DNA sequence: GCGAAAGATAGGATATAATCCTATTTAGGA
DNA sequence: TCCTAAATAGGATTATATCCTATCTTTCGC
């Protein structure tokens, strides 16, 4: 928590009671809770905290790299008819998703650490980054 | 498309005009469209098709393994305060997500195929499967 | 081919998740 | 302590996904 306070100060972000409790709650669990769950739990300590504050803070923490989103950020359901082996590149800026194949990664086996958690069915790599187009827009602005 | 018709027959699923067009649309693109996009495009050929039909069919196709969902199925946003290197196990049944680490996968490099698409920032493996608890529930029922 | 039954669809109604708006409060620097 | 910019609460709103049910279509046995 001390490191978190410091991270806020470093970024010029105010250290509010709500923000501390939201982060504390998230950092204290490994279950990757959703917003409602975080809100419910934090409310036990701050009864008046609003859902909006929880949303706002979590989103802000993601943007500052202090927290990550599992899966994709606030996107809609998206589908893929390619059932062959492939991986995904996801642009964190515009949401573009492209498949790619990689001979190196064709034969990755189910890691035994994952097998301890359950019976694996599918496996693929998710590479997040900034796509070429968003990158060029960025360059032309600077 | 012929294979798709056959796959429907094999599964005892009726081959409807709407279903064919929805699948055709999805299979004709690599951009992983969302439901609204699929609906809009299919509507050019079937003007009266409803969003519900698109949702219902895509969901059904996922359940039959003919299509996959990018990211996670109809889940809420979920967050993770663990910013260290780790991978995810996602239960496709109950939505449980657990982190795991794997020495084998600690040093996976950004595949060059992904670098062609953009500038990668993070990388992790996503293993989907059925978690131990869901598995045991399943066993006790049969 | 024909008719019945199960399955699928359209379209409106509804539920749920996420975000917006704005008056008020709070943190942090001078 | 005071001031300013940032943050919050709470209600309103939007957007996404699903439900409901009357109607229609596919499929299968004849």
- Quick check: helix, strand or coil at residue B126? strand
Span A20-42, mean pLDDT?
90
Q: Best interface-test mutation with B: which of A22, A39, A118 has the largest number of B CBs within 10 A?
A: A118
With a pLDDT cut of 90, the percent of chain A lying above it is 32
Identify which of A29, A32, A76 has the alpha carbon closest to the alpha carbon of residue B58.
Answer: A76
Residue A141 pLDDT: 54
Residue A20 pLDDT: 96
Series of mean pLDDT values for 10-residue runs along chain B (142 residues): 91 95 91 87 94 92 81 61 80 77 83 89 84 76 52
Residue A21 has pLDDT above 80, yes or no: yes
* Residue tagged 């701050």 (tokens): A46
> A101: exposed, middle or buried (C-beta count within 10 Å: 0-12, 13-18, 19+)?
middle
pLDDT-derived band at A142 (thresholds 50, 70, 90) equals: low
Residue A6 has pLDDT above 50, yes or no: yes
Residue B74 pLDDT: 45
Backbone angles phi, psi at B125, to 5 degrees: -90, 140
Residue A74 pLDDT: 45
B72 touches strand D (CB under 7 A): no
Contacting residues of B for A136, CB less than 8 Å apart: none
Residue B71 pLDDT: 61
- Range among A46-60, A127-141, B96-110, B124-138 rated most confident: A46-60
SS (H, E, C) chain A: CHHHHHHHHHCCCCCCHHHHHHHHHHHCCCCCCEHHHHHHHHHCCCCCCCHHHHHHHHHHHHHCCCCEEECCCCCCCEEECCCCCCEEEEECCCCCEEEECCHHHCCCCCCHHHHCCEEEEEEEEEEEEEEHHHHHHHHHHC
Residue A77 pLDDT: 63
> A9: exposed, middle or buried (C-beta count within 10 Å: 0-12, 13-18, 19+)?
exposed
Identify which of B133, B43, B72, B114 has the alpha carbon closest to the alpha carbon of residue A78.
Answer: B72
Residue A69 has pLDDT above 80, yes or no: no
Residue A8 has pLDDT above 60, yes or no: yes
A35 touches strand C (CB under 7 A): yes
Q: Which of residues 80-119 of B touch strand C (CB under 7 A)?
A: none
B123 and A125 within 8 Å at the Cβ level: the answer is yes
């Amino acid at each position: 928590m001390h490191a978190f306070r410091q991270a806020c100060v470093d970024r010029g972000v105010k250290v509010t009671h709500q923000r501390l409790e939201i982060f504390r709650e998230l950092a204290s669990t490994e279950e990757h809770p959703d917003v409602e769950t975080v809100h419910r739990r934090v409310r036990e300590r701050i009864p008046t905290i609003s859902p909006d504050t929880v949303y706002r803070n979590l989103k802000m923490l993601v943007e500052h790299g202090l927290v990550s989103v599992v899966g994709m950020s606030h996107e809609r359901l998206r589908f893929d008819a390619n059932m062959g082996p492939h991986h995904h590149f996801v642009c964190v800026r515009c949401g573009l998703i492209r498949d790619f194949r990689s001979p190196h990664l064709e034969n990755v086996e189910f890691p035994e650490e994952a097998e301890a958690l359950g019976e694996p069915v599918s496996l693929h790599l998710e590479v997040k980054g900034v796509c070429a187009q968003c990158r060029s827009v960025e360059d032309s602005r600077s």
